[in-house]
Amino acid sequence: MLNFVSPRLALSYLLLCTFSCIGVLQLQAARQRLDGLSLWGGQGARWWGYIVGLSLIFGSFAAFYTLAPNLFVPGLAGSELVILFTAGFALALVITLAAASLAAPRPTEAAMEANEGKAVAAPQLGGWVYAPQGSGPFPALCLVPEIGSPAADLGIVAAQLRDMGFVTLSIDWTAEGDFPRYPDVLALVPSGVRYLLQRPEVDRRRIGVVGFGLGGDLTLRAVGADEQIAVAVAVDPYLSSEPCDPGLDLLRQRSLWQAVRWKRKHKAQSSMAKQLNGLAFLSQILPRPLLILHSPQHSLSGLPNEVETRSLPDDHREGLPWRQNVARVIGRWCEEHL
Amino acid sequence: MEGDWVLFQLINGWAGRWPLLDGIMRPLVNDYMLTTAMSLGLVALWFACPVAPHTGTVRHREGKGQAERERNQRAVLMAILSLLAANLLLKLCNIIYFRPRPFHAHPVNLLFYHPTDSSLPSNIATMGFALAVSVWIGNRKAGLGFILAALLLGFARVFCGVHYPGDVLAGALLGGGVAYALSRQGRWLDLLLDFVLRVARAMYLA
C-alpha cells in the first residue's frame, strides 16, 4: 500500500526529482546541443547550460536535505520513491519542453530586412531580392528554399551571394500560404527566373538556380526543362530518398513544437520528392554545369560522371541555409561556372 | 555466518569514531541520495546521444552516434526491467526466509533507524546492482560509475549497522544475476524494447 509517510516529505522528494531532472536535462542539452531541451531554446553560450544544470542538481539536493522533514527515520518505500521519481521526471520533461518551445527563435521578415533584401512586387511570386550596388550587368541566382520553409531561412545565404556580386532572388513559398502541391509547385522556379530576366541589371545569359532540400529536387526538374538557365546547384536534395524518423535528433536546433511541424512536413516532402523525380531530369541539364552538395550520410550512386558532387562542410547543422560556409562554396563554384 | 559477523564488526567498528565520516555515511545510507543519483544517471544516459562530427543533416543521420545512443537507451530500459524483476524475486525471498538485522542479535554502532524487514538479501543492494549491471552490459564506462555507486551504497549499509556484508553480497548477486539473465534473453525482450523505443522515437524522445 502507498501512504507516502507525510504529504510534506512526498512533496519535498517530488520537487527534488523534478528540479534535479531539469538539471540533468540542461547538462545534456548543453553537452549534446539539444536546443529543444534547453530552458532558453539553446540561445546563448553553452556553458550556461552546465552552470544551470549543476546548480539545479546540487541545489535541489541541498534544499531537500535541509528542508525535508524526518529524513533519518523510516521514510518513503521503494515503490513510492519510484512513483515520485517518475512523476518528477515527467514534470521536468514537460517544463523543459514547454520552456524551450516558448524561447525558440523564430525567423522573421525582419531578419530579411536586416540583410537588406527588398520584397519582390510581382504577380504570383513572393520573395526577396538582393542586388549589388551598380548598374551591372551581374550574374543572377534564383534561390529555392526547402519547400514549405520561409524565404527568411535563406536570408544569410542570399546576402552573402549578393556581396559576392550576384543578383539574388530568394523565393518565398510561404507567401502563397499552405504547403504547395504538385504540380502547382512546378510554376514557381519559372516565375522566379522570369522575374530575374526582367531586371535591367541582370545579365540574361548568366542565370543560375540554387535549391535546398526538396527545393534542390525542384531545381533539377526546372533547370532540365528551361535552357535559359546556365547552371544549377542542388544542396542536399532528396533524390527520392525514403522518409526517416530522426527522433531525438529533431530536438537539435528545434523546439518540440517545431519538431512536430518538421515531421509532418517531412512526410509531405518525401512524397513530393518522388513526384518531382529530379534524377530523371539530369540528362536534360547536362552538359550545363551542375553541382550537387550532399550530406556525408547521403550516398549518391549512379549519377553521370559529368555531375559534380561535393560533400557538405563538416560543421554544417540542420539549419543548413544559415550556414555561411555553404553560401561561400556555392558562390565560388558559381563564379567559376557562371 | 561467523565470517560475516567478523567482517561486519570490522566495517561497523569504524562507525561512531569520526563525526565527519559518520556525517558522510548517514546521507549515503538513507533511501534518497544514491538511489536518486542513480536514477538521474539513467536519465542522463538516455539523453546522451553522441553524434560523430561527420553527421549529415537530420534526414540522413545514422551511423556510429545513433547506434551508440540506441545501445544506451536499451541499457536504460533493461535497467528498469531488471529493477522490476529483481524486486519481485526479492519479495519472494523475503517470504521464504527471514534473517534478523545485525542490531537485533548483537550490539552494533547503529547510525540509522531500525528497519523491520528481513536483513537478507539487502533490498537496496539488490536494486543498486540490478541497475548497475544492466547499465554496465550496455555501456562499460557509465556502468563503472553505477557499480561504484552500488558498492558505496552496500558499504554504507554495513558501516551504519543495518546489514551484514553477506546481505549486501546476496543482494548484489540477486540484482546482478537478474540483470545478466535478462540481458541473455532473446527475441521477446528485444521486441518489447524495440516497441518502447519506437514509441519514444515517435515522441521525439529517443
Closest CA to B12 of A233, B21, B20: B21
Q: Which of B39, B56, B123 sits opposite A298 (nearest CB)?
A: B56
pLDDT at residue B187 is higher than 90: no
Q: Which of A17, A61, A245 sits opposite B201 (nearest CB)?
A: A245
Among residues 77-136 of chain B, which lie with CB inside 8 Å of chain A? 83, 87, 112-113, 115, 123, 127
What is the model's pTM?
Answer: 0.80
What's the order of all strands across the beta sheet hosting A231-235?
A: A118-119, A127-130, A167-171, A138-144, A202-212, A231-235, A290-294, A308-311
pLDDT at residue A315 is higher than 60: no
A75 touches chain B (CB under 8 A): yes
Mean pLDDT, rounded, of chain A: 84
CA-CA distance, B36 to A14, in Å (whole number)? 11
- Tell me: cis bond preceding A243? Omega within 30 of 0 counts: no
Q: Tell me what pLDDT residue B63 has.
A: 56
Report which residue type is found at B63. G
Q: Which of B115, B123, B204 sits opposite A251 (nearest CB)?
A: B204
Q: Which residue has the cell 540542461?
A: A26
CB A210 within 8 A of CB A292: no
pLDDT at residue A319 is higher than 60: no
pLDDT at residue B55 is higher than 60: no
A318 touches chain B (CB under 8 A): yes
Closest CA to A12 of A79, A60, A77: A60
Return the residue in A248, A250, A309 with the most chain B beta carbons within 10 A, the one to mutate for interface testing: A248
Mean pLDDT of B163-187: 94
Report which residue type is found at B114. H
Mean pLDDT of B186-204: 90
Three-class SS string for B100-131?
CCHHHHCCCCCCCCCCCCCCCCCHHHHHHHHH
Query: To 5 degrees, how large is the angle CA A216–CA A217–CA A220?
Result: 90
Report which residue type is found at B98. F
pLDDT at residue B13 is higher than 50: yes
**Bigger pLDDT: A181 or A143?**
A143
Indicate the pLDDT class of residue B64, thresholds 50, 70 and 90. low
Report which residue type is found at A99. A
Q: Tell me what pLDDT residue A238 has.
A: 86
Q: Which residue has the cell 519481485?
A: B88
Chain B residues within an 8 Å CB radius of A76: 31-32
Mean pLDDT of B188-196: 92
CA-CA distance, A195 to A207, in Å (whole number)? 11
pLDDT at residue A52 is higher than 50: yes
Mean pLDDT of B174-202: 92
Indicate the pLDDT class of residue B52, thresholds 50, 70 and 90. very low
CB B163 within 8 A of CB B55: no
Chain B residues within an 8 Å CB radius of A236: 56-57, 59
Mean pLDDT of A325-334: 89
A7 touches chain B (CB under 8 A): no
CA-CA distance, A71 to A161, in Å (whole number)? 65
CB A161 within 8 A of CB A330: yes
**Bigger pLDDT: A281 or B130?**
B130
By mean pLDDT, which of A84-98, A132-146, A322-336 is the weakest? A322-336
Indicate the pLDDT class of residue A316, thresholds 50, 70 and 90. very low
CA-CA distance, A157 to A271, in Å (whole number)? 27
Q: Tell me what pLDDT residue A120 has.
A: 80
Helix/strand/coil for A168: strand
Q: How far apart are the first and last CA of chain A?
A: 77
The 10 Å Cβ neighbour count of residue A257 is 15
CB A334 within 8 A of CB A308: no
Q: Tell me what pLDDT residue A178 has.
A: 61
Q: Which residue has the cell 518502447?
A: B196
A323 touches chain B (CB under 8 A): no
Q: Tell me what pLDDT residue A113 has.
A: 53
CB B12 within 8 A of CB B109: yes
Indicate the pLDDT class of residue A271, thresholds 50, 70 and 90. confident
Indicate the pLDDT class of residue B79, thresholds 50, 70 and 90. very high
Q: Which of A32, A73, A259 sits opposite B47 (nearest CB)?
A: A32
Indicate the pLDDT class of residue B54, thresholds 50, 70 and 90. very low
pLDDT at residue B53 is higher than 50: no
Q: Which of A13, A25, A295 sits opposite B57 (nearest CB)?
A: A295
Q: What percent of chain B has pLDDT over 90?
A: 75
**Bigger pLDDT: B25 or A122?**
B25
CA-CA distance, A80 to B79, in Å (whole number)? 18
Q: What percent of chain B has pLDDT over 70?
A: 92
B23 touches chain A (CB under 8 A): no
Tell me whether residues B43 and A17 touch, CB distance under 8 A.
no
